[in-house]
Amino acid sequence: MSNNQSNGFFQAMRSVLAAMIGVQRQENRERDFSSGKLWHFVLAGAIGVALFITVMLLWVQSML
């Protein structure tokens, strides 16, 4: 994997996480739509959702 592809995925991951909590900047969103690769965002979104579900399950289990 080239450095550019790696940076692209990690940038997509940061953008997805920022969007999930509602703090995405307009300039970052425009950059993502103009130069981002779809599969980076799909993979980052799937990882983000899996992490969220795992954290929620662990939190609920600790409360019970």
**Which tens digit of pLDDT belongs to each residue from 2-42?**
445 556 888 888 888 888 888 878 887 788 778 778 888 88
Q: Which residue segment(s) compose the domain that 54 sits in?
A: 3-63
Query: What is the number of structural domains in the chain?
Result: 1
CA 47 to mean position of chain CA atoms: 7
Q: Using an 8 Å Cβ cutoff, are 9 and 40 in contact?
A: yes
pLDDT of residue 1: 47
pLDDT of residue 2: 47
The confidence band for 58, taking pLDDT boundaries of 50, 70 and 90, is very high
Tell me the C-alpha distance between 25 and 18, whole Å. 9
